Amino acid sequence: MSPVAVSPLSHRRVDLAPSLPGLIETVAPASLAMELGIESGDRVVGINGLPLVDALDFQYQAQAEHVVLDVERRGSLLRYELELDGDEFWGVTFADPTFDGVRICENACPFCFIKQIPKGMRRSLYVMDDDYRYSMLYGSFVTLTNLDEADWRRIEDQHISPLHVSVHSTDPELRVALVGNPKAGRVMADLARLERAGIDFHAQLVLVPGVNDGPHLDRSLRDLATFGSRLHSIAGVPVGLSRHGQARQSKQLRLSRTCMRTLPGKTIPVRRYERHEALAVISQAERWQERFARERGDPFFYLGDEFYLMTGSPVPDTAHYGGFPQIEDGIGITRHFLDSVDSYLRRAKPNTLFGADGTVACGELIGPTMREAVGRFNGRTGAGLDVVPVENVYLGAEINVSGLLGGQDLLTAFGGRHDARPLYISDRMVSQRTGTLLDDMTIEKVETVLGRPVVPAADLSDVARDLRVRTRVRPQAAA
């Protein structure tokens, strides 16, 4: 990197449009940004005279050979002129990765979970995003229905990859009904355009019993199999229904968009899978997985853990999931957890936690698996953990995964127990950004009401680490 010219345009006020905040949240040590003296709280205004619309735009524009970076600090504009040698580690994160707001969903999916949640939950949960930038940054699934030609060209030119696409069905008419948007029928053409542009992508099928499984699932998998190596994986997850969605629409979720009401399949019957139906999906998936293993070298099509847990079927082994390509969508998270338990117990010395105890709270679906894992943990370490599967009172008993439990569910399950032992919960219940639970309740409030520590943990090794600390600081009895 050549010497940097910095021009502090002191006392010059910059009228920063709300659509371009560019607020820097953190600056990494030993990064180019730190070398330049850029600070947390500064705002990136533009590069080479061009405004930036998001963090991806910054990453792309900041890799040019000649960069003029405009940064606003407390009302003054700093200009950095740089000659760069190649890829540089800028080391900045932004308070919000999209400077121009979030792309809002234009669809009317009959199983939209956001429309099923009650008032009073974490604010971010009500944002109906369908933003390809969040898809690349965080693995969010998008439908591609709200992209215009400028969006497509930007994805192609800046190579915004990988993307995660909610497909649901490759039958144009059925996908239009499932997504609730007339543009949804072009999904195969959209995916083909991604492939031609060299964009990697993953596909998701939210499966609704009797609607897009069975022969429709066969068609979707057959069609998706025509894509080459740019399509990395396909996930099949069961539809979810909260008690609020059921009560409001009696499990018949009618498409809300007026233009959709004349389409075939305008009313989609949405309900949970029964055990025999879920077993049929597993059997159908296994046939495709065997075929894909022969043709592509891996199972390629992965089912959501719920299918295995709700039927009491064995969770596939680690090799089945390969690199766990869709673990952020919950695919393989049970196997990942069991592997982490095995790994910890191989390293743990016997009885190192003798006398340490507490409670592990989890969703009802994972309850039997958690009890088995914690039983092995106790047997090896000497700890006295117990497991309490918690009913989801807030969203309804049919929502039975750990990550969707709220603070009120914990208060209902553990209130009035007069138990001071630590309560361990899945860290997936807690927002990394706000530190709140799904219903916007803080960990501190739950602790205050219950009168016990509440500790988010990623796995049992986190639990063991916390128990060791508590055992060391436990008051000793007087001699």
Average pLDDT over residues 365-390: 97
Stated pTM of the model = 0.86
Average pLDDT over residues 281-299: 98
Residue 177 has a pLDDT of: 95
Query: Do 290 and 405 reside in the same domain of the chain?
Result: no
* Average pLDDT of every residue of the chain: 88
Q: Which of 6-20, 89-103, 180-194, 368-382 has the lowest mean pLDDT?
A: 6-20
Q: Work out whether strand 43-47 and strand 66-73 pair parallel, antiparallel, or are unpaired.
A: antiparallel
- Residues 191-202 pLDDT 10s: 999 999 999 999
We report the CATH number of the domain holding residue 311 as: 3.20.20
Question: Which residues contact residue 374 at a Cβ distance below 8 angstroms, ignoring those fewer than 6 apart?
Answer: 360, 385, 386, 387, 460
- Residues 441-460 pLDDT 10s: 999 999 999 999 999 999 99
Query: Given 331, 359, 390, which residue is the final one in a domain?
Result: 331
CB atoms within 10 A of CB 150: 8
Query: Do 308 and 390 reside in the same domain of the chain?
Result: no
The residue with greater pLDDT, 399 or 122, is 399
Domain assignment of residue 460, yes or no: yes
Question: Which residues contact residue 363 at a Cβ distance below 8 angstroms, ignoring those fewer than 6 apart?
Answer: 389, 390, 392, 400, 401, 402, 403, 404, 405
Residue 65, helix vs strand vs coil: coil
Question: DSSP secondary structure string, 399-438?
Answer: ---GGG--HHHHHHHHTT----S-EEEEGGGS-TTT-B-T
Structure tokens at 478: 């007087």
Residue 2's Cβ-count burial label (10 Å; 0-12, 13-18, 19+) is exposed
Query: Do 155 and 280 reside in the same domain of the chain?
Result: yes
The count of structural domains within the chain is: 3
Domain assignment of residue 15, yes or no: yes
Query: Do 133 and 159 reside in the same domain of the chain?
Result: yes
We report the CATH number of the domain holding residue 445 as: 3.40.50
Query: Do 269 and 384 reside in the same domain of the chain?
Result: no
Query: Do 121 and 260 reside in the same domain of the chain?
Result: yes
Q: Label residue 310 by pLDDT band (50, 70, 90).
A: very high
Query: Do 200 and 258 reside in the same domain of the chain?
Result: yes
Q: In this structure, which amino acid lies at residue 231?
A: L
Average pLDDT over residues 467-479: 65
Residue span of the structural domain in which 73 resides: 5-94
- Residues 329-344 pLDDT 10s: 889 999 999 999 999 9
Q: Which residue has the tokens 């039997």?
A: 368
Domain assignment of residue 478, yes or no: no
Q: Apex CA 199: angle with CA 237 and CA 144, to 5°?
A: 55
CB atoms within 10 A of CB 15: 5
Query: Do 321 and 188 reside in the same domain of the chain?
Result: yes
Query: Do 229 and 265 reside in the same domain of the chain?
Result: yes
Distance CA 279, CA 281 (A): 5
**CB of 105 closer than 8 Å to CB of 130:** yes
Domain assignment of residue 105, yes or no: no
- Residues 343-377 pLDDT 10s: 999 999 999 999 999 999 999 999 999 999 999 99
Query: Do 324 and 361 reside in the same domain of the chain?
Result: no
